[in-house]
Amino acid sequence: MMTAFETIQAETVPTDNENNFPAEGRLQEGLNQEITIHGSVHKIRKMSGFSFLILRTSDRLIQCVLDTGKCRVEGSLKEEACIRARALVVEEPRSKTGWELHLTEIEVLSAPEEEMPVVINGKGIDASLETLLDYRPLTLRNEKQRAIFKIQEGLCRGFRAFLEKEEFTEVHTPKIVYQGAEGGANIFRLDYFGKDAYLAQSPQFYKQMMVGVNERVFEIGPVFRAEKHDTARHLNEYTSVDFEMGYISSFRDICRMEAAMIKSSLAWLQSHYEKELALLKVRIPEAGSIPSIRFHEAKELIASRYNRPLCEKNDFEPEEEKLLCEIVKKETGSDFVFVTHYPSAKRPFYAMEDEENPEVTLSFDLLFRGLEVTTGGQRIHDFRQQLAKMERMGMDPSLFESYLWIHKAGMPPHGGLGLGLERFTARLLELENVRQAALFPRDIHRVMP
């Protein structure tokens, strides 16, 4: 006896909105069609004799005319109700698009239980950052808030498209790890079935391991830093765009690749996210050629130009990053600057030192509009060199046994970088606080929503 199975066909489910609207510059073709559409009621504005209903679809706000005499409404229509509707596309020169919808039939699919605790249907949101984040599941429905993350998506797609074209293999490495890669106490500890484990501060060890396998690899994923900073620049969980590549001839290969990746991603954005870029008035920076300066020269430059004392010798103060970017902008016009040759004292044990001066490493940061957005560099590939450096630093190599296998077994000269996606987004959009560029930010005080 055969069983009667139902059958599910592999079929895409079209969004009602697809190909429904008059195309850019081809208004005439779309006019006077009756279409089906769905979305949320973003705003209702009563006029005399009719209402304007602003419909929020997945990617735009649409002006609709609701004349209750000419439109059958099924259900209770209020702001934030989800509706499916029939409507006529009508020419309207006062609308930005040149058209508007005249609603003929509305089915309310679901209605809100309460009014929004925060007003989300204005241009922006008139509330403190705290409120914006407390009510994040709702405030993200605001047009401008939503656009931030569409642009972030676009950046990601741009980065990925570039890396795939340049023959990088995408990898998924574990976030629960037995050992921190960056050293220090800034690591979240976890009880892993009675053993200690940690949350990965970066995919560093794993992406290096994978260079031995695929030569070029990348990963876009979460990383975790238990830093106690409470600043506009820090998140305790963020999305890191990491790549690592073998057979480099200098750490400058990494810089060149990063500049090319950014340039390519920004071009992608400009051609695919025009609407959101216009809405947020984004100034797209040039990344075709990026100035570069050595760390110690940058320190001296800032000190002399602004008459500041040289305090912290081995690192930048946040203020210094801003000042350096100001100088660079003024003198070269660039919104980016590479700072190279950071002191060995401030870089991890795997950073390759400069043969000419072991006090500094073949590493770099990329600053963008006043903020560090990338750290990268060449890594040590030779086993003995790595072992010697670990011993010099008082580390116990036996704790890094499986990592060191790759050095023992043979590794090409290699290097890579990590780019903070939220930081990059924040500087691109000139948002004051990096939290504004994280969907659901995690900071020292915030672990919800």
In 10 A of CB 53, how many CB atoms? 24
Structural tokens at position 303: 């000190």
Closest separation between CB of residue 32 and its own copies, Å? 25
Tokens 């429905």, residue located = 141
Consult the annotation and say whether 372 binds a ligand.
Answer: yes
417 closest CA partner among 342, 315, 327, 355: 342
List the one residue from 30, 53, 100, 237 that touches its own copies (CB under 8 A).
237
Q: How far is CA 198 from the centre of its chain?
A: 24
Consult the annotation and say whether 375 binds a ligand.
Answer: yes
List the one residue from 119, 127, 156, 303 that touches its own copies (CB under 8 A).
156
249 closest CA partner among 349, 378, 355, 384: 378
Consult the annotation and say whether 234 binds a ligand.
Answer: yes
Tokens 């002191």, residue located = 343
412-431 binders of its own copies (CB under 8 A): 412-413, 421
Residue with smaller CB distance to its own copies, 393 or 399: 399
Tell me the one-letter amino acid at 292.
S
304-333 binders of its own copies (CB under 8 A): 327-328, 331-332
Does residue 382 bind its own copies (CB under 8 A)? Answer: yes
Which listed range, 19-27, 106-114, 348-356, 371-379, lies at the site for its own copies (CB under 8 A)?
Answer: 106-114
Which listed range, 91-99, 175-183, 310-318, 346-354, lies at the site for its own copies (CB under 8 A)?
Answer: 175-183
Which listed range, 36-44, 69-77, 122-130, 428-436, lies at the site for its own copies (CB under 8 A)?
Answer: 36-44
List the one residue from 125, 255, 279, 280 that touches its own copies (CB under 8 A).
255
Consult the annotation and say whether 157 binds a ligand.
Answer: no
Q: How far is CA 45 from the centre of its chain?
A: 35
Does residue 10 bind its own copies (CB under 8 A)? Answer: yes
Helix pair angle (295-306, 318-332), 10° resolution: 90
Which listed range, 97-105, 315-323, 367-375, 407-415, lies at the site for its own copies (CB under 8 A)?
Answer: 407-415
Does residue 16 bind its own copies (CB under 8 A)? Answer: yes
Structural tokens at position 199: 């949350």
Does residue 292 bind its own copies (CB under 8 A)? Answer: yes
Rounded to 5°, the CA angle 170-171-177 comes to: 155
List the one residue from 381, 389, 423, 435 that touches its own copies (CB under 8 A).
381
Which listed range, 45-53, 87-95, 124-132, 138-146, lies at the site for its own copies (CB under 8 A)?
Answer: 138-146
Does residue 215 bind its own copies (CB under 8 A)? Answer: yes
First to last CA, the chain: 53
The span from the CA of 185 to the CA of 193, in Å, is: 22
Which listed range, 1-9, 45-53, 69-77, 97-105, lies at the site for its own copies (CB under 8 A)?
Answer: 1-9
List the one residue from 34, 117, 229, 317 that touches its own copies (CB under 8 A).
117
Structural tokens at position 425: 């987004």
Closest separation between CB of residue 28 and its own copies, Å? 25
DSSP letter at 249 equals S
List the one residue from 55, 62, 66, 287 that touches its own copies (CB under 8 A).
287
List the one residue from 60, 150, 322, 346 that touches its own copies (CB under 8 A).
150
What is the DSSP track for 159-187?
HHHHHHHTTPEE----SEESS-SS-SS--
List the one residue from 40, 121, 363, 378 that touches its own copies (CB under 8 A).
40
Size of the site for its own copies (CB under 8 A): 136
Closest separation between CB of residue 228 and its own copies, Å? 7
DSSP letter at 443 equals B
Closest separation between CB of residue 401 and its own copies, Å? 8
What is the DSSP track for 74-133?
ES---TT-EEEEEEEEEE-TTSTTSEEEEEEEEEEEE--SS--SS--SSSS--S-HHHHH
Produce one character per residue of 385-400: b if its CB has 16 or more CB atoms within 10 Å, e if not.
ebbebbeeeeeeeeeb
In 10 A of CB 79, how many CB atoms? 19
Q: Which residues are annotated as a binding site?
A: 182, 225-227, 233-235, 372, 375, 379, 420-423
Q: Which residues are annotated as a binding site for ATP?
A: 225-227, 233-235, 372, 420-423
Q: Which residues are annotated as a binding site for L-aspartate?
A: 182, 225, 375, 379
